[in-house]
A and B are shown apart, each in its own frame.
Chain A
Amino acid sequence: MRIHWVALAALVVAIAGALAVQGLLHRASPGQDAAARAVATDEVPSAVTRGGPVVDAAPAKPQTAAPHPRSVALTFDDGPDPRWTPEILDILREHGVHATFFVVGNAAIEHPGLVRRIVDEGNEIGVHTLTHVDLGGIPEWERSLELGTTQRVIAAAAGVTTSLFRPPYSSTNAAVSNSAWAAMRTAGADGYLSVLSTTDSRDWTRPGAESIVNVPLREGDAGQILLMHDGGGDRSETVAALDALLTRLQGDGYRVTTVGEAVGLTQTMTKASTVDAAAGSVVIAGATASDVLVTALVWMLALSGIILIVRAVLVVGAAIRHVRRTRVDLGEWRPVIAEPITVVVPAYNEAAGIEAAVRSIAASTHDVEILVVDDGSTDGTADIVEGLALPRVRVIRQANGGKPAALNTGIAQASHELIVMVDGDTVFEPDTVTRLVQPFADPVVGAVSGNTKVANRGGLIGSWQHIEYVVGFNLDRRLFDVAECMPTVPGAIGAFRRSVLARVGGVPADTLAEDTDLTMAIGRDGWRVVYQEDAIAWTEAPATFGALWKQRYRWCYGTLQAMWKHRGAVTERGAAGKLGRRGLGYLLVLQVLLPLVAPAVDLFALYGLFFLDAPGVIGVWCAFLLVQLLMAFYAFRLDRESPKALWSLPLQQFVYRQFMYLVVVQSVFTALAGTHLRWHRMERYGSLREPARR
């Protein structure tokens, strides 16, 4: 049974890993002028500062080399880019020249086909780090990782290993800073030659194509290494200038070629080892999978946001309509239904609260017959009730058979057509029964839901549940009423027609949420199920997380069972179809799917906080909190509750929310696995004494 937590943990690890990979691969790189900030050059050997632009930093005495006179090595940095690189390759081919492409690993991972094309067309490839990071600012092992991973990606993509490396943010030899030199030494130790440049086309400043074409070359015959860019931004000017630039250089008699040929290096690329290529494939596969996963997460996040907003609009709109309707009714309110009512109280080990419950019902202003069905209690529940010796109260004892059996016994023994069902831990107000049954004046109404309120609303857990009940009963339930798709009449307070109960076969016993199951059956039978917000029942909410877990697990799992059992309603016509499409659809999206993706949403929020734009994430989060707060505020006003309890709403996002979605995760797993569950019974504390008045 722990398997679902293992699965969830694995999923969280996978998602967190994917997010971390994406975050690290696309870490924010400093601006193009980062090279300018590192100024100290005292540790750079003069052999490098004054030497050629190709540097072997491995030996204690670094070696450098320069391109042959009257040759220009064309270098393109920061690619490959799906838009610009192919265009540049086309132009190079037209001119019959080759160039050196210093690719960034994270771009190569996304476009391995371009890397292969670069090499296949006879160009030279070089490493420009994995993430275009300023290597001087990171530890040595990370530098090696940046270079090595890019190398392996190139190996996987193009089947070659390159010995050329260009440090990001580098320019000429004279500009090599201490930190750049340290990076070059690492590269040298790993076997790379560092390739600087002699001439910057400054195409990254987007000075206009003409300016790039007319880039000032070094005077005289000295060989050049020309720095250009095929990726990392808008390179339209580079592409636009390249043809004319090549024409100019070739016209001036320069030999335009790769770094290797310009400098006279024998073999800058060799066939990649199978191991490196395989490792590169593993990296590409992982990064690609991460990318897919993170993209899916972004969509899910956006969709969740949209759903929450749509839900807010729907429930508030429906509540406004519902309020308008009931207000009209209130104007002419007088009890239309005055006939006697049977109240059925199923009780199993309810010793703690049964007295308060039965007394409150007996104090009802309505003519009621009270049937307490003791479902084989072992704590003397039945004796307590009999000891009260209240008029109108009858105790029926039966062997333990579960709550549905107890309810069915009560229904069978009821003397009246209208039956109110109430939990043994629930306290009514004197006019609750009267108000609850009034909607039966309409013959199409088959069942009525009352308004349940949390009695023990102190403490965090109490106040969270209080908020949840007030919002659930005053917004969602009004929506269900207006949309004629009430999926559940709470066991704590509901009224039914006995004839309707008979039509649907009594209270079903094959789900753990018999109240939801029964309500759906009544809805599918074509009856309207309505909400009577002024029929109030006070209930005792779980006071510990353990008890709350059990209760919610049972509710959630039971609701899933009932939804599955009544899934056929989706395609049915009339009232049943409304229940199926609207009611089940709402439950599926808001109470099953949304909580299931919520862990991923939370992870993504954390990721956004650390890797993306923290103020933005916090802003969005606050906006959603504000929407919730406003909705809750409205619900509290509708119920004439003090909004002071809303202080705990922001905190709800941190423990309660996660708690609730973990319940859903466990329930869905239990449903999928088909595990058999015992009835999870709630602990009773006996905190209900008096029918508390609001």
Chain B
Amino acid sequence: MTPGQVRPRTRAEARRLAPVFVDRSGRRLRRIRILVGGAIAALAAYIVLAVASLLGVPAVQSPLLPQPAAAQPAPTPIATPTPEPPSPSPTQAASTPGPAPGPAPSPSSIPVESSPAVASVPVPSPTPTPSGTAASPAPADRGSSASAPGRTKAPTPPGKP
């Protein structure tokens, strides 16, 4: 119990006298760094993925409303959208005479397209199942409805059911 006894004599004793918890090799610290780094990377990746999943508006194909024959003579409207499936640009460029909220959602069509890149998932959406839609009845309305991304995305609408 003299102070001299603190000096270790054997290796076992040296291990006993080494400070508790201390890992001089630094292996545990490295392992923890990797663990923490990995966890943070996973968290960050998830946050990016989650934000990407929330961005934009999913493509929705709205079906054509059956028009009450008396109310509106429906023939003309169907003609306009069908002829030009490949280039939706004219419709998109069309001025939106609709009320105030109209323009705001239109930029959302960009995030929708960007989201597959971020999420790195195959790709399918631009060509959804060819349902019988994407046409709005009145020609004047076409512009405003086209600003909705879902509608612009149906490239080959087979026409009115």
B6 & A405 in contact (Cβ 8 Å cutoff): yes
Within B116-151, the residues touching A (CB, 8 Å) are 116, 119, 121-125, 128-129, 131-133, 136-138, 140-142, 144-145, 147-151
In the assembly, what is the distance between CA of A17 and CA of B101, in Å?
31
B9 at the interface (CB under 8 A from A): no
A246-287 interface code vs B (CB 8 A; 1 in, 0 out): 000000000000001001111110110111101110110010
A509 & B17 in contact (Cβ 8 Å cutoff): yes
Stretch at the interface among A183-191, A523-531, A572-580, A597-605: A183-191
B19 at the interface (CB under 8 A from A): yes
* Contact of A266 with B63 at beta-carbon distance under 8 Å, contacts A140-B105, A673-B32, A676-B19 already known: yes
B86-109 interface code vs A (CB 8 A; 1 in, 0 out): 000000000001110110111010
A674 & B105 in contact (Cβ 8 Å cutoff): no
Residue of A at shortest CB range from B63? A265
Residues of B within 8 A of A670 (CB): 21
Q: How far is the CB of B126 from chain A (nearest CB, A)?
A: 8
B10 at the interface (CB under 8 A from A): no
B67 & A63 in contact (Cβ 8 Å cutoff): yes
A672 & B56 in contact (Cβ 8 Å cutoff): no
A192 & B21 in contact (Cβ 8 Å cutoff): no
Q: What is the size category of the interface that chain A forms with chain B?
A: 35 or more
Residues of B within 8 A of A386 (CB): none
B11 at the interface (CB under 8 A from A): no
Q: Which of B22, B32, B40, B151 contacts A191 (CB 8 A)?
A: B151
In the assembly, what is the distance between CA of A302 and CA of B128, in Å?
50
In the assembly, what is the distance between CA of A13 and CA of B40, in Å?
10
B64 at the interface (CB under 8 A from A): yes
B75 at the interface (CB under 8 A from A): no
* Contact of A274 with B124 at beta-carbon distance under 8 Å, contacts A59-B136, A185-B101 already known: yes
Residue of A at shortest CB range from B28? A674
Residues of B within 8 A of A60 (CB): 97-99, 140-141, 144
B53 at the interface (CB under 8 A from A): yes
B10-29 interface code vs A (CB 8 A; 1 in, 0 out): 00000011111111101111
The number of A-B residue pairs with CB atoms under 8 Å apart is: 257
Residues of B within 8 A of A145 (CB): 54
Residue of B at shortest CB range from A182? B101
Residues of B within 8 A of A186 (CB): 101, 105
A152 & B5 in contact (Cβ 8 Å cutoff): no
Q: How far is the CB of A284 from chain B (nearest CB, A)?
A: 10
Q: How far is the CB of A314 from chain B (nearest CB, A)?
A: 28
Residue of B at shortest CB range from A272? B58
A486 at the interface (CB under 8 A from B): no
Stretch at the interface among A407-415, A467-475, A631-639: A407-415
Q: Which of B5, B22, B33, B52 contacts A3 (CB 8 A)?
A: B33
A495-523 interface code vs B (CB 8 A; 1 in, 0 out): 00000011001100111100000000000
Residues of B within 8 A of A191 (CB): 57, 59-62, 148-151
A510 & B141 in contact (Cβ 8 Å cutoff): no
In the assembly, what is the distance between CA of A672 and CA of B27, in Å?
11
Count of residues in B whose CB is under 8 Å from the partner chain: 80
Q: Which of B60, B119, B132 contacts A151 (CB 8 A)?
A: B60
B133 & A267 in contact (Cβ 8 Å cutoff): yes
B125 & A273 in contact (Cβ 8 Å cutoff): yes
B43 at the interface (CB under 8 A from A): yes
Residue of B at shortest CB range from A280? B53
In the assembly, what is the distance between CA of A417 and CA of B18, in Å?
30
* Contact of A189 with B105 at beta-carbon distance under 8 Å, contacts A404-B6, A673-B29 already known: yes
B2 & A59 in contact (Cβ 8 Å cutoff): no
B22 & A676 in contact (Cβ 8 Å cutoff): yes
In the assembly, what is the distance between CA of A668 and CA of B131, in Å?
61
B47 at the interface (CB under 8 A from A): yes
Stretch at the interface among A34-42, A442-450, A557-565, A612-620: A557-565
B2 & A412 in contact (Cβ 8 Å cutoff): yes
Residue of A at shortest CB range from B108? A144
Residue of B at shortest CB range from A277? B121
A264 & B66 in contact (Cβ 8 Å cutoff): yes
Residues of B within 8 A of A560 (CB): 21
Q: How far is the CB of A276 from chain B (nearest CB, A)?
A: 5
In the assembly, what is the distance between CA of A260 and CA of B47, in Å?
37
Q: Which of A63, A147, A509, A673 contacts B28 (CB 8 A)?
A: A673
* Contact of A675 with B22 at beta-carbon distance under 8 Å, contacts A60-B144, A260-B63, A267-B132 already known: yes
28 contacts between A and B (CB under 8 A): A6-B36, A6-B40, A17-B47, A58-B62, A59-B142, A65-B67, A140-B105, A144-B57, A145-B54, A149-B54, A151-B58, A161-B61, A163-B61, A186-B101, A189-B148, A190-B57, A191-B62, A191-B148, A193-B62, A274-B123, A275-B121, A279-B54, A408-B3, A505-B1, A511-B19, A670-B21, A673-B23, A674-B21
12 further A-B pairs in the complex, CB-CB below 8 A; given A56-B136, A148-B54 = A6-B36, A59-B141, A60-B141, A144-B105, A188-B148, A190-B149, A267-B131, A270-B128, A270-B131, A279-B58, A502-B1, A510-B16
Please name the 4 residue pairs, one residue from A and one from B, whose CB atoms are nearest each other, closest first: A674-B23, A59-B141, A191-B150, A191-B60
The chain A residues found within 8 Å of chain B, CB to CB, are 3, 6-7, 10, 13-14, 17, 54, 56, 58-61, 63-66, 140-141, 144-145, 147-149, 151-152, 155, 161-163, 182, 185-186, 188-193, 260, 263-268, 270-271, 273-276, 278-280, 282-283, 286, 398, 401, 404-405, 408-409, 411-412, 501-502, 505-506, 509-512, 557, 560-562, 564-565, 669-677
The chain B residues found within 8 Å of chain A, CB to CB, are 1-3, 5-6, 16-24, 26-29, 32-33, 36, 39-40, 43, 46-47, 49-50, 52-54, 56-68, 97-99, 101-102, 104-106, 108, 115-116, 119, 121-125, 128-129, 131-133, 136-138, 140-142, 144-145, 147-151, 161
